[in-house]
Amino acid sequence: MYYVTNENLEAIMLGLDIQEGDRVLAICGSGDQALAMLENGAEVVAVDKVRAQLVYAREQVKLLRQGNFDGFLNPPQDDHTSCFYQNRKEYFSCHGRLEKIRSNLGRISFIEGNIFCLGDGTISIVQGPGERILPALKSFLWNVAKTILQKPFTKIYLSNAVDLSYFDVDSYSIGQLMDRLVSGGLIYQTCRYESDLFKIVHRLKLDIDLTSIAQSKEKMGWYRWWPMIYRKE
């Protein structure tokens, strides 16, 4: 369970060059990355295989909607991610940042599923804690989720999903994911090394400038991730 991101949020925002009008498909995790993208007016679809992560992210949205910024800035802590709390707090505490994010909360959606297999019929919209879905609504909500995913994306944020063992990822599944990305769109991958999967997928080219910017920001963090940004040709 991730209560905060272990990545550098500034690296993600600059590496993906998040702009108003962007439509971003993003790994959810703690929700920090997806929420940060709202500041610039992007529309974000946050996806995760782990329902508990999506429910937690929805709880963070609720805190922001209520104006409970103190609650948002002080999430639960654990021994594994305690070193990242201060970096997160400093980022979101920047003057006016949470107010901008709060004004754009209507631009985020949460969908349960495997980001690499979103067309296999297993997707669903995740409600907030305590919200019940009546059986008659399940089919409707599945269609809503399907509709949300039909429109192409300008950016895709994968975090380190390619490296995680519980994702069954190969060149075919990445190719399918790329079909959801517009020509010239960007994909952000976090890793310890450049993935061979992206080298063999056609239509993708490393964006050297944006990668350099993201890596320079991530190097200032504690975890030392190695972000790579690719552009669809």
In a domain, 73, yes or no: yes
In a domain, 65, yes or no: yes
Cα 168 from Cα 173, distance rounded (Å): 8
pTM for the complete prediction? Answer: 0.88
In a domain, 198, yes or no: no
Cα 117 from Cα 18, distance rounded (Å): 24
When mean pLDDT is compared over 23-37, 67-81, 120-134, 210-224, the highest value belongs to 23-37
In a domain, 2, yes or no: no
In a domain, 26, yes or no: yes
Count of domains for the chain: 1
pLDDT band with cut points at 50, 70 and 90 for residue 119? low
Question: Domain span at residue 65?
Answer: 9-190+204-232
pLDDT at 225: 84
CATH of the domain at 84: 3.40.50.150
Please give the span between the terminal C-alpha atoms of the chain, in angstroms, as a whole number: 36
In a domain, 3, yes or no: no
Express each pLDDT in 155-195 by its tens digit.
999 998 887 755 667 777 888 888 899 999 999 998 766 55
In a domain, 141, yes or no: yes
Express each pLDDT in 81-93 by its tens digit.
677 898 899 999 9
In a domain, 32, yes or no: yes
pLDDT, average across residues 117-135 = 54
Backbone angles phi and psi of 59, in degrees to 5: -65, -40
pLDDT at 69: 98
